[in-house]
Amino acid sequence: MKMENQPNPMHQNMHTGNIPQQLNHGAHEVLDVHEVLSGAVGSLNTYSLLRQHVQDQELANIMDRQYQFMQEEYNTTLECFQTGKDPSKPTQSYKMNQGNDFIYGLKPSQPKKPIQSVAEMNEETVSGCLLGAIKSAASMKTMAALETTNPVVRRVLADSVPNCIEMAYELSIYQNKHHYYQVPQFTQQDMQQMLNAYGPAQGQMPNPNIPH
């Protein structure tokens, strides 16, 4: 027998006005933010484990500054995810200390391959691991931001992506300077052709209400 005036559970789920602010998250958002937080923990653990294998002071300084920044950023993301409110500390922008000059061209080098023991860990392998972790974080945060419904969490994630790009750039410059990461180029003729392959956009979007 059908009960009259019985509230429909499906309709109840559609009303969001009375949902506490800390629960103001969509399902996709929750799963993706969990991936971001888990990845952040993994990155921080990677930095901690690899720090002991670094002798070069320049890379050590990069690792220390990036670790401290990522730790604060992790705490900010966690806070706004759990509360649904603005974080107690505003988001920050990561700034690297070194210049941005790249060395272009390829020089002969030994093929890269996985290490066979911990004794082979050095600045090249460590910086490569760090760069991979940061690039992965940038992808995860971008995907999570695109799925996020909570406006505060979305903004915090979006603010974090440029920081990942800056940290990855800093690591790649370090690698390039020490010839761990070489950057090939096109010939000058091919480069000019590629640079001039497109022209500027002009005009306005067509208005379908204007008769032809």
Q: What is the model's pLDDT at position 21?
A: 60
| % the chain with pLDDT above 90 | 74
Nearest CA to 96 out of 166, 181, 177 is that of 166
Q: How many domains does the chain have?
A: 1
CATH number at residue 102: 1.20.1260.10
Residue 4 has pLDDT above 80, yes or no: no
Residue 205: inside a domain: no
Enter the pTM of the model: 0.84
* Chain center to CA of 133: 9
Relative orientation angle of helices 27-50 and 57-83, to the nearest 10 degrees: 150
The token pair that represents 212 in the structure block: 């032809």
Residue 6: inside a domain: no
Residue 212: inside a domain: no
8 Å CB contact between 21 and 85? yes
Residue 10: inside a domain: no
8 Å CB contact between 147 and 28? yes
Residue 2: inside a domain: no
Domain containing 160: what range?
Answer: 22-106+121-195
**Rounded CA gap, 7 and 10, in Å?**
9
Residue 207: inside a domain: no
Residue 38: inside a domain: yes
Residue 172 has pLDDT above 90, yes or no: yes
List residues bridging with 15 in a β-sheet.
none
Encode pLDDT of 38-75 as tens digits: 999 999 999 999 999 999 999 999 999 999 999 999 99
Q: What is the model's pLDDT at position 22?
A: 59
Average pLDDT, the chain: 88
* Chain center to CA of 17: 32
Residue 187: inside a domain: yes
Whole-number CA gyration radius for the chain: 24
